[in-house]
Amino acid sequence: MNKNYLKYKGKLYQKLGPLVRSTYAAVCDIGMLTNRDKEAKKFYKFGNGSLISFPPGTMFGQSAISIGTDTMIGPFVTLSAGMMPNQKLIFEKIVSIGDRCMIGRGSHIIGHMHVEIDDDVITGPYVYITDQNHGYLDTTVPIWKQNPVDKGVYIGKGTWLGTQCVILPGTYIGKNVVVAAGAVVSGEVPDFSVVAGSPAKVVKKYDEEKGWIKP
């Protein structure tokens, strides 16, 4: 390739690069959704000081999604209630995110019956939370054709969910729990504990008398 062309291209990029980056930053800032925006009225609740970053992920069923105050939802986060847009929902409120939460980039929160995230919960990027799984009662029928199973999910106050962890239907996580990156969690997780692995197991737990102990 011609050296003069490469030199010209380099100078052009040096001039345009800052403009492109500043424009994109402005677009993200303008596109951010807050409770001052008309779109926020579609939600069951959209608290003061909360925001959904731009660009958002897939979003539908807003009328059954509640967001508390001072909560930040990162870019490319999927928030959905129900199976599809414009579906008539059975429950008035399906997905609930508390106050002062931070939902990491690219995460998915998918509710069909009940997903509750309590106050002060933070997640790493690409966390997946759902209250529905595929049924598998009949081995002669493709799994996607079988009736799904819904079981509510609860994530307790002050909990930290690590990058790319998966929270399965029927999971109850206590308060101030650490879920390690990549963990796959189901069942009950006690307060003040650390879980890791697939399937996730308690690897450390806080005892008031002994401090941190391994179970």
Is 114 among the catalytic positions? yes
Considering the candidates 108, 112, 114, 134, report the single residue annotated as catalytic.
114
Q: What is the 3-state secondary structure (H, E, C) of the chain?
A: CCHHHHHHHHHHHHHHHHHHHHHHHHHHHHHCEECCCHHHHHCCEECCCCEECCCCCCEECHHHEEECCCCEECCCCEEEECCCCCCCCCCCCCEEECCCCEECCCCEEEECCCEEECCCCEECCCCEEECEECCCCCCCCCHHHCCCEECCEEECCCCEECCCCEECCCCEECCCCEECCCCEECCEECCCEEEECCCCEEEEEEECCCEEECC
Q: Provide the annotated active-site residues.
A: 114
